Amino acid sequence: MIKRFQEWLKGRQNRHTTEPLLEKDNVPYHVAVIMDGNGRWASKRGLPRVAGHHSGMKAVKRVTIAANDLGIKVLTMYAFSTENWKRPRDEVDFLMKLPQQFLAIELDELIENNVQVRMMGYREELPSHTIEALEEAVEKTKHNTGLILNFALNYGGKRELVEGIKEIAREVQEGKLSPDEIDESTMESHLLSHELPHPDLLIRTSGELRLSNFMLWQIAYSELWFTDVYWPEFTERHLKEAVAEYQRRSRRYGGLQ
């Protein structure tokens, strides 16, 4: 069943050989990306896994500029999950240095393109050099009014929900909130992404068909788009294909249209 689904999906993605034609008035406002396949991309080329992560960093810049040009307003990149600490120490150390390397090279161009950098995740476990690089980028771009580049770093959807529920429970305990007042908006106000709209489109690369603990509440009605392409190979063309597929779908949110 999974194999047939993958074959169907691949056929859908490759059915157009020409440049995808996009509707300018139906571009997803918020696109979230699970950047998967860096290690496998490197292994297939006889390279160490960290080489794949370095190439993936270049794809981040490439896709950010492309998203900005398409009129996408928010781009959330799943850079490091709360489960990724289980990886080998040398790989984790390299991943923790990537934000510093990426921003040192690309921050000026991001500023020129009016991009605003944000971070969504749990900072207490992150090394100081990682936090300092991100905080500098956030500070220098906070007045930019273009695309929001939101890095999900040391982020996990389950942890986000648990921490949010704990905060709500404390507010009830302190008498600031009644249990009868708790609704969906209460939960959403306690999420790390509370300042952002929910993703309209979720993209995952490398052929894996799972969510991997990413924005579990927020993507309840997001459109999902999967591709076999490894993240270091992901280009503006692939982003356009994802947006084109998004535009072919009808979003009903459980209703009828």
Instruction: State the catalytic residues.
Output: 36, 84
Helix spans in the chain (H): 2-13, 38-43, 49-70, 89-112, 128-141, 157-173, 184-189, 236-248
Question: DSSP state, 84?
Answer: G
Residue 199 has which token pair? Answer: 């993703």
Closest CA to 191 of 150, 163, 230, 224: 163
Q: Cα angle vertex 135, ends 124, 28, to 5°?
A: 100
**DSSP 3-state of 154:** strand
